[in-house]
Amino acid sequence: MSRIAQSMLHHRKEEEEEEHKEVDTADEPEEPNVIRIGVIADTEVTLGLLLVGIGYHHQKFRNYLMVEYDTTLSEIEEFFHKLYKRPNIGIILLDYPTAKRLSPVLDRCKKLLPVVVILPTKASIVPYMEEKERLRRQRQREAYN
């Protein structure tokens, strides 16, 4: 084999090794000092947040899940756990209907970070406000008793 062919073969092997290294580190945060925001919400809310720049996609990981009517609870729970366990996620944004579906899982979350924030949607704003008012009245009654 000529020196040029050997050099090309050696260069090609180095490129393949580089590709394998990148695939192996896909689950590691590429910038440990950057805290990201995760989103699990319906299409409308998620698209709005993606338009303002919250979306992030790196190899096999993305920080958002668009919840449709046919999205199963197990898919949502699995994605939530991925976000919750990831060290570079500081905030997880959930829309109200998704948070209701995930309430048993959310009750078990005790870590300080990531902070879970529930966003009311236009379809759920009235039930959300009614529940907030009910909880406020309940706390008020308990304070007087």
What does the CA dihedral 94, 99, 102, 103 come to, rounded to 10 degrees? 130
Whose tokens are 């759920």? That residue is 124
Distance CA 100, CA 15 (A): 47
**Contact yes or no for 89/35 (Cβ under 8 A):** yes
Distance CA 65, CA 37 (A): 12
Share of the chain above pLDDT 70, in %: 79
Confidence at residue 26, expressed as pLDDT on a 0 to 100 scale: 46
pLDDT tens across 95-130, in order? 999 999 999 999 999 898 999 999 988 888 898 889
Distance CA 38, CA 69 (A): 20
Confidence at residue 28, expressed as pLDDT on a 0 to 100 scale: 53
pLDDT tens across 67-88, in order? 999 999 999 999 999 999 999 9
User: What one-character DSSP code corresponds to residue 83?
Assistant: H
Instruction: Find the helix or strand (DSSP H, E) in which 24 lies.
Output: helix 3-24
Cα 127 to Cα 52, 68, 99, 101, 131: the distances in Å are 27, 20, 13, 15, 6
User: Beta 115-119 vs 89-95: how paired, if at all?
Assistant: parallel
At a CB cut-off of 8 Å and minimum separation 6, what does 58 contact? Answer: 26, 30
- What domains lie within the chain, and their CATH numbers? 36-144 (3.40.50.10580)
Give the angle subtended at the CA of 57 by the CAs of 83 and 25, to the nearest 5°: 75
pLDDT band at 18 (very low <50, low <70, confident <90, very high): low
Question: 117 vs 59, which has greater pLDDT?
Answer: 117
